[in-house]
């Protein structure tokens, strides 16, 4: 029973509460979030770890007038519970339900849509400078995790925020939520720097004590502040954040409302760039999550909080697992192989590879741009880098792909996981643009395996090339087909006819092969597993055009500029005119929800493919459809 929580509809209700009631409210919010996620699945550890911080921020700042931007946004379930969405949280990440990340179109308290990390400081700075330009008195607060702080974009923003612009300083507060965790344990020098600051936390306690005494005499307080800045240089290492022009405060306990609230009240009244370092525990308040924050980063489905996450039920291997096994096998066979992940070791299936080949494993942090150019450097020296990266996150390293890898024609393999609709994470995480944005880059090849066995073959095919090659595969498992444990490969550039039929040829890319085969059985159509988006098997395309009245292309990627466009370009270049139908992701963002349902809504299941073909070509011979 959430006695206090039930009385909170908006943060204004929260701000009317007695401060002494806030710890009880935080307990109720934490229990509500745990129970919700136990029913809906979703992110867990980061939400349990930010309950007190969320309560304190909405208590101290006049939200939504003051803007809070949540980095990544996977930690915003407490924020959503306190901002009028408690009654809808049971619809979390379901079609038509509450999103798993902040959305401006979901609430005025969601000031900026996030999902990809490290954007919060930039966005908050924009809001802060807009307030200055418009003469509005409002604060902009960026809440960013220690993991998200490892991305270059965060430092681009710090660098810009820390100096005045035409004599105007942004009134921005950056709150670093330091739980000493990314999804995996954190990596990099910044983590070491933060640890040093945390080791000096006697300093923060002493300083807070000193401030309490001096508060009565403001001039003295200002004098002491200047002394403090100077003294900091002697007592603890100066923080990198002060070097960027921020007034750094902390580290303080991010679960102690008696530390959080006075500190935030103090910072609220300060002008210019402020930086608050809070220390939290990922999964705080739920022992199993505290003990294993990697496992409890997110729940894939329902669980009983009393028992923790259920053991995985085995079942068909995922494409991710197929990749992870292939990576170890290829590393065993070739000592030049280097595996790289931008902070997604578990999600990319590289835990075993890390264990077995620690010196050839690199988690570079949330730094996709660096990951790609780092791989290019390795390839220049004759090594064989494999960059395991979600399709959506490769978007962040597009210039590095073009400028540093393709232009130099370097042999880098991109294992593009989550290629296609991802489901619960929604449009920020959909991997539906990679076909279009990769196939247009010279020297690059793009392979789209149709099942798990094909995936392993595609990875080996890619690895053995002396050029940049991407292999895209979807989130989750495939058909359960037997996977040959060898290191065989495809014939380069060749598709395979999987079904001979009449009148219509369906050219399927990737895992769209299965629904295409099911639809073809109803239509007696031919089906081709194209395997290669680039290089396209043009001879096969032209042969299909010669032997059929119409061609249909099917891909789990955007229609605009996708594989179907490649087929169209091929036919046009050959001067071949025949009815063409491109099926894929339409020109809109696909919402969060069950991926099977979402594919059906896009017409990319067997029924949808069949219906589209019948609608376009009817049951009459296709040519008649064109000539009316």
| Residue span binding ligand DXP (CB under 6 A) among the ranges 224-232, 417-425, 458-466, 600-608 | 417-425
Interface residue with ligand DXP among 204, 298, 530, 541 (CB under 6 A) is 298
396 forms part of the interface with ligand DXP (CB under 6 A): no
183 forms part of the interface with ligand TPP (CB under 6 A): yes
Q: In angstroms, what is the minimal distance from the CB of 157 to Mg ion?
A: 18
Peptide bond just before 35 cis, omega within 30 deg: no
178 forms part of the interface with ligand DXP (CB under 6 A): no
418 forms part of the interface with ligand DXP (CB under 6 A): yes
Helix axes 189-199, 201-214, angle to 10 degrees: 50
User: From CA 215, how far away is CA 220, in angstroms rounded?
Assistant: 8
Cα 243 from chain centroid?
30
The structure tokens listed for 499 are: 């079904």
Q: Which is nearer to ligand TPP, 169 or 193 (CB)?
A: 193
The structure tokens listed for 285 are: 């308040």
Q: In angstroms, what is the minimal distance from the CB of 600 to ligand DXP?
A: 20
Interface residue with ligand DXP among 45, 347, 557, 564 (CB under 6 A) is 347
Neighbouring CB atoms inside 10 A of 195's CB total: 13
| Residue span binding ligand TPP (CB under 6 A) among the ranges 14-22, 174-182, 320-328, 588-596 | 174-182
Interface residue with ligand TPP among 58, 74, 370, 548 (CB under 6 A) is 74
Q: In angstroms, what is the minimal distance from the CB of 150 to ligand DXP?
A: 14
Transcribe 16-39 into DSSP letters: TS-GGGHHHHHHHHHHHHHHHHHH
- For 449, residues 6+ apart whose C-beta sits below 8 A from its C-beta are 455, 457, 458, 471, 473, 510, 511, 531
Q: Indicate the residue whose CB is closest to ligand DXP.
A: 347
CB 131 within 8 A of CB 111: no
Q: Of 430, 439, 511, which Cα lies nearest the Cα of 477? A: 511
What residues form the annotated binding site? 74, 115-117, 146-148, 179, 286, 368
- For 623, residues 6+ apart whose C-beta sits below 8 A from its C-beta are 549, 550, 578, 579
CB 68 within 8 A of CB 78: no
Transcribe 527-566 into DSSP letters: EEE--EEES--HHHHHHHHHH-SEEEEEEEEESTTSHHHH
Q: Which of residues 143-182 bind Mg ion (CB under 5 A)?
A: 145-147, 179, 181
282 forms part of the interface with ligand TPP (CB under 6 A): yes
- Give the phi and the psi of residue 201 in degrees, each rounded to 5: -75, -10
What Rg value do the Cα atoms of the chain yield, rounded? 27
Residue 475 appears among annotated catalytic residues = no
CB 586 within 8 A of CB 578: no
Interface residue with ligand DXP among 66, 178, 253, 425 (CB under 6 A) is 425
CB 293 within 8 A of CB 45: yes
Residue 396 appears among annotated catalytic residues = yes
Name the residue with tokens 């232009």. Answer: 407
Residue 538 appears among annotated catalytic residues = no
# binding residues, ligand DXP (CB under 6 A): 9
Q: In angstroms, what is the minimal distance from the CB of 76 to Mg ion?
A: 14
Task: List the catalytic residue out of 103, 282, 439, 475.
Answer: 282
Q: Which of residues 138-157 bind ligand TPP (CB under 6 A)?
A: 145-148
Q: Which of residues 416-475 bind ligand TPP (CB under 6 A)?
A: none
Q: x-or-dash pattern for ligand TPP, window 362-401, by CB under 6 A?
A: ----x--------------------------x--x-----
Please give the angle made by the CA atoms of 503, 509 and 514, to the nearest 5 degrees.
75
User: From CA 18, how far away is CA 494, in angstroms rounded?
Assistant: 70
Q: Which of residues 452-511 bind ligand DXP (CB under 6 A)?
A: 475
Interface residue with ligand TPP among 54, 83, 117, 504 (CB under 6 A) is 117
182 forms part of the interface with ligand TPP (CB under 6 A): yes
Task: List the catalytic residue out of 368, 452, 556, 610.
Answer: 368
Q: Of 411, 389, 378, 384, which Cα lies nearest the Cα of 330? A: 384
Q: How many Cα atoms sit within 13 Å of 549 on the Cβ side?
A: 17
343 forms part of the interface with ligand TPP (CB under 6 A): yes
The structure tokens listed for 589 are: 């963002």
Q: In angstroms, what is the minimal distance from the CB of 395 to ligand TPP?
A: 9
Which residues make up the interface to ligand TPP (CB under 6 A)?
A: 46, 49, 72, 74-75, 116-117, 145-148, 179, 181-183, 282, 343-344, 366, 393, 396
Which residues make up the interface to ligand DXP (CB under 6 A)?
A: 72, 74, 183, 298, 347, 418, 422, 425, 475
Which residues make up the interface to Mg ion (CB under 5 A)?
A: 145-147, 179, 181
Which residues have a catalytic role annotated?
Answer: 282, 368, 396
């Amino acid at each position: 029973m959430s006695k206090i929580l039930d009385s909170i509809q908006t943060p204004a209700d929260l701000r009317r509460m007695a401060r002494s009631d806030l710890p009880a409210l935080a307990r109720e919010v934490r229990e509500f979030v745990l129970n919700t996620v136990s029913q809906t699945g979703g992110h867990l550890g980061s939400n349990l770890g930010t309950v007190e911080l969320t309560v304190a921020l909405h208590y101290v700042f006049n939200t939504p007038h003051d803007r809070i931007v949540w980095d990544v946004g996977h930690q915003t379930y407490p924020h959503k519970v306190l901002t009028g969405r408690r009654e809808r949280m049971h619809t979390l990440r379901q079609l038509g339900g509450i999103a798993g990340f902040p959305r401006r179109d979901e609430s005025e308290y969601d000031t900026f849509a996030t999902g990809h990390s490290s954007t919060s400081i930039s966005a908050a700075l924009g809001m802060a400078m807009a307030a200055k330009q418009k003469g509005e008195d409002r604060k902009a607060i960026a809440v960013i995790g220690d993991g998200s702080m490892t991305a270059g974009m965060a430092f681009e923003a710090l660098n810009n925020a820390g100096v005045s612009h035409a004599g105007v300083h942004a009134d921005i507060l950056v709150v670093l939520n330091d739980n000493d965790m990314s999804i995996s344990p954190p990596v990099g020098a910044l983590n070491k720097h933060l640890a040093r600051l945390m080791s000096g936390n006697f300093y923060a306690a002493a300083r807070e004590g000193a401030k309490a005494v001096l508060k009565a005499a403001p001039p003295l307080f200002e004098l002491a502040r200047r002394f403090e800045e100077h003294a900091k240089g002697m007592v603890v290492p100066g923080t990198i954040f002060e070097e960027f022009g921020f007034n750094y405060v902390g580290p303080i306990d991010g679960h102690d409302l008696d530390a959080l609230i006075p500190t935030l009240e103090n910072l609220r009244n300060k002008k210019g760039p402020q930086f608050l370092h809070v220390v939290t525990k990922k999964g705080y308040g739920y022992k199993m999550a505290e003990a294993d924050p990697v496992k409890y980063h997110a729940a894939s489905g329902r669980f009983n909080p009393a028992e923790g996450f259920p053991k995985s039920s085995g079942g068909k291997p995922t494409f991710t697992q197929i990749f992870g096994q292939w990576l170890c096998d290829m590393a065993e066979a070739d000592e030049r192989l280097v595996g790289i992940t931008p902070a997604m070791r578990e999600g990319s299936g590289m835990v075993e590879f890390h264990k077995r080949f620690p010196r050839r494993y690199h988690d570079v942090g949330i730094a996709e741009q660096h990951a790609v150019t780092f791989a290019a450097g390795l390839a220049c020296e004759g090594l064989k880098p494999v960059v395991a990266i979600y399709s959506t996150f490769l978007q962040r390293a597009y210039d590095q792909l073009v400028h540093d890898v393709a232009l130099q024609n370097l042999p880098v393999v991109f294992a593009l996981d989550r290629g296609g609709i991802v489901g619960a994470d929604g449009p920020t995480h959909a991997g539906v643009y990679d076909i279009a944005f990769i196939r247009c880059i010279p020297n690059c090849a793009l392979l789209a395996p149709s099942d798990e066995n094909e995936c392993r073959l595609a990875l080996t095919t890619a690895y053995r090339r002396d050029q940049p090659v991407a292999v895209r595969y979807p989130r989750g498992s495939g058909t359960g087909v037997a996977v040959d444990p060898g290191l065989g490969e495809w014939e380069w550039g060749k598709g395979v006819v999987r079904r001979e039929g009449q009148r219509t040829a369906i050219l399927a890319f990737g895992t769209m092969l299965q629904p295409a085969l099911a639809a073809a059985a109803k239509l007696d159509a031919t089906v081709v597993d194209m395997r290669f988006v680039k290089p396209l098997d043009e001879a096969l395309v032209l042969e299909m055009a010669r032997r059929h009245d119409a061609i249909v292309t099917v891909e789990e990627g955007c229609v605009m500029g996708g594989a179907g466009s490649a087929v169209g370009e091929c036919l046009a270049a050959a001067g071949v005119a025949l009815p063409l139908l491109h099926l894929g992701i339409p020109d809109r963002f696909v919402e969060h929800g069950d991926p099977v349902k979402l594919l059906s809504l896009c017409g990319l299941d067997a029924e949808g493919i069949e219906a589209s073909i019948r609608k376009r070509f009817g049951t009459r011979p296709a040519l008649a459809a064109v000539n009316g």
